[in-house]
Amino acid sequence: MFPPLRVEPTYRKLSLAIETRILERTLRDGEPLPTEAELSTQFGVHRSTVREALRELESVGLVTRRRGTKRLVVTRPGAARIADTVGRALSLEDVTVLEVWESLHLVAPAAAANGARRRTAADLAAIEAAYHRFTDDSADTNRALIHMLAFFRAVTRTSGNRVLMLTLEPLLKLMEPTLAQMVAGVPQARTRITTAQRRILEALTARDSEAARTWMSRYLRDFRRGYELANISLDQRVAWRSSTR
Positions that interact with DNA (CB under 7 A): 7, 9-11, 33, 35-38, 44-49, 51-52, 65, 68-72
Give CA–CA dist 175/5, Å, rounded: 44
Give the other-Cβ count within 10 Å of 200's Cβ: 28
Residue 72 interacts with, from DNA, a copy of itself, none (CB under 5-8 Å by kind):
DNA
Please state, as a whole number, how many other Cβ atoms lie within 10 Å of the Cβ of residue 107. 20
Q: Does 80 engage in binding with a copy of itself (CB under 8 A)?
A: no
Give 110 or 186: the residue with its C-beta nearer to a copy of itself. Answer: 110
Q: How far is the CB of 63 from DNA (least distance, A)?
A: 10
- Count CB atoms within 10 A of the CB of residue 77: 15
Q: What DSSP assignment string belongs to 87-147?
A: HHHHHHTT-BHHHHHHHHHHHHHHHHHHHHHH--HHHHHHHHHHHHHHHHS-SSHHHHHHH
| Residue 59 binds which entry of a copy of itself, DNA, none, CB below 5-8 Å type-dependent | a copy of itself
Q: Closest Cα to residue 99, out of 156, 4, 178?
A: 178
19 binds, among a copy of itself, DNA, none (CB under 5 to 8 A by kind): a copy of itself
In angstroms, what is the minimal distance from the CB of 77 to DNA? 19
- The item of a copy of itself, DNA, none sharing an interface with residue 128, based on CB under 5 to 8 Å by kind, is none
Burial class of 119 by CB neighbour count within 10 A (0 to 12, 13 to 18, 19+): buried
Query: 18 vs 186, which CB is nearer to a copy of itself?
Result: 18
- Where does this chain bind a copy of itself (CB under 8 A)? 4, 6, 8, 11-12, 15-16, 19-20, 22-23, 29, 48, 51-53, 55-62, 67, 76-77, 81-82, 85-86, 88-93, 95, 99-100, 102-103, 106-107, 110-111, 114, 161-164, 166-167, 171, 240, 242, 244
